[in-house]
Amino acid sequence: MQSWLKQFKPNPKNPLTTIGLFHWEFRPNRRMPEKPRRIPKIGECLELEDLSFKHSVYFFQVDSKTLHIYESSGISLGGLNIAHKYILQNNEFVQTKVLMKMIR
């Protein structure tokens, strides 16, 4: 997780406000029963700064080479929630696909 933060989040203009862990919760999908809905559930987290514009990053380690990252950014009633899948190759993380994207 530390190597992912060093590689992808060295932006001082948009600092991280919260960092933590999450897990996936699966619920039934009425339109496509064979594909359940994937909902991120926040576990342990640490608030780094208290700003009006939040930028939170949560981690879920699937195995030793796969990492799911859930990012939430924006103000309290509006913003973007997105989850990506990253794979570790040659000591660098490579983004493979978007797992979830939601504008709130």
Q: Which domain holds residue 59?
A: 2-103
pLDDT for 10 equals 67
Looking at the structure of the chain, the number of domains it has is 1
Collect the ranges in the chain with pLDDT lower than 70.
10
- Predicted local confidence at residue 42, as pLDDT: 95
Which pLDDT belongs to residue 40? 95
Query: How high is the pLDDT of residue 91?
Result: 87
CA 86 – CA 62 distance, rounded (Å): 10
Global pTM reads 0.88
- pLDDT for the residue 70: 96
Residue with structure tokens 């490579």? 94
